[in-house]
Structure 1
Amino acid sequence: MKFAADAPLGKLSKWLRIMGYDCAYPAVLEDQDPDDDRIFLTRTTGVKGKGVLFIGCNYIEDQIDTLNTLLPIKDNIKPFTRCTLCNTPLKTIEKESVFTDVPDYIYVTHDDFQICPSCKRVYWRGTHRERMEGIIEALFVRKPNPKS
């Protein structure tokens, strides 16, 4: 499943990338290739068309909940496999190759690294990743509605 998100959905596009989804951002519906099977996510009312999905909520948790209700995104998560900046799939890289690209402490305390082949951003499993894993888990745990 691939997505394209318009400008107001920047945070959603970043979280879709964190969860491993291909999400083009920012996207304009008119620029989409008709042969591309991307689902176009928009906050703009009145945008209609094949493969267009309106996301009416403001908060990221609600946006992801809406998306998961309409599509089975929870079932296909492959976290930390795409660059959050440019959407390119990440590649595993040898530790020695990142010596000059990461802080000394990170180099000494970590052995596994990934790199974005496009923008050259280096990723590693740090406390930020553990926090994101917790957020992803919490996003898909349905909370009871206090009004019911």
Structure 2
Amino acid sequence: MSAPEIHIQFAPELALFVPHGRRAGATPLATDGVSSLGHVVESTGVPLTEVGTLRVDDREVPRSYVPAAGDSVRVDPVARPQRVPGAPLRFLLDVHLGTLARRLRLLGVDTAYESTDIGDPALATRSATEKRVLLSRDRGLLHRRELWAGAFVYSTRPDDQLHDVLDRFRPELKPWSRCTACNGLLRAATREEVADRLESGTRRSYDVFAQCEECGRPYWKGAHHEQLEAIVERALAEFTSPT
């Protein structure tokens, strides 16, 4: 008995993940007759973190649906903005996304980051334990079953990465409220409170400081402040609603 064959079509946004021959129009795909449609889609290389609505013959079906011979399947990307139910929106980034982590923290977004490679199983487990959305460019990592939630980072450019994450998840922005080094919360601090962590020139030149409640790192409007301010202003202009 031959394997049931379906016809599957991927939305253009998912073309990155599928073999070249399946990128244009519906293409035939043999199934085993028992696997769920979610499993079938994932077997083509598309992480389920990137999959939104599944349609069979123009009707929406769950991922648990078992496709039958002759089914015409349409795979759409995740709808934006994406809602992550069940927990406050928080992120976990892998070792390759350090700049993105710092920029999210700059905007006040709760962002955990592993600066060393702790391995895929540990990252996925942390995502599940802390209920954080794992952001990664590692497709294999996003296929792991133990993930709580995940998302592929499509660009290699930090500016584009930040825009993509903000556009997809629309997190609440609270600029200048988190430590870019450790993700701890910042508080206002006097010069005397942070004096032992400052160079003498900084102590003489600045009066306004903040300090991380977790690691103690001091912050002030130094040489790079204008560049950071530009990042903040762009994000606020595009991703916050006018009051």
Structure 1 length-normalised TM: 0.80
Tell me the secondary structure at the aligned position of residue 4 of structure 1.
Answer: strand
Q: Please say if residues 92 and 135 of structure 2, whose CA atoms lie closer than 8 Å, have aligned partners that are also in contact.
A: yes
How many residues are paired up? Answer: 140
Q: Distance in 2 between matches of 1:29 and 1:125?
A: 34
Tell me the residue number matched to 1:145: none
Tell me the residue number matched to 2:131: 37
2:204 paired with 1:116: no
Q: Distance in 1 between matches of 2:162 and 2:107?
A: 11
Segments of 4+ in structure 1 off by > 6 A? none
Once the two structures are TM-superposed, the CA of residue 127 in structure 1 deviates from its matched residue by 3.4
Q: Distance in 2 between matches of 1:55 and 1:33?
A: 16
Aligned 1:13-32 pairs, distance under 5 A: 13-26=101-114, 28-32=122-126
Q: Distance in 2 between matches of 1:38 and 1:109?
A: 40
Q: Please say if residues 65 and 140 of structure 1, whose CA atoms lie closer than 8 Å, have aligned partners that are also in contact.
A: no
- Percent identity, aligned pairs only? 30
Cα deviation code 1:103-142 (max 9, x no counterpart): 2332233222111233221111223222201133345767
Aligned 1:103-142 pairs, distance under 5 A: 103-138=199-234
Once the two structures are TM-superposed, the CA of residue 44 in structure 1 deviates from its matched residue by 0.5
Tell me the residue number matched to 2:169: 71
Structure 2 length-normalised TM: 0.51
Q: Aligned letter for 2:153?
A: I
Tell me the secondary structure at the aligned position of residue 91 of structure 1.
Answer: strand
Q: Is there any run of 5+ residues in structure 2 with no aligned partner, and where?
A: 1-88, 239-243
Of structures 1 and 2, the one with the larger relative CO (CA 8 A, separation 6+) is: 1
Q: Is there any run of 5+ residues in structure 1 with no aligned partner, and where?
A: 143-148
* Farther-moved stretch of structure 1 (44-53 vs 59-68): 44-53
Q: Distance in 2 between matches of 1:32 and 1:88?
A: 18
Cα deviation code 1:32-65 (max 9, x no counterpart): 2535332111111131344111112110111112
Once the two structures are TM-superposed, the CA of residue 31 in structure 1 deviates from its matched residue by 2.6
- Aligned-residue RMSD, C-alpha: 2.3
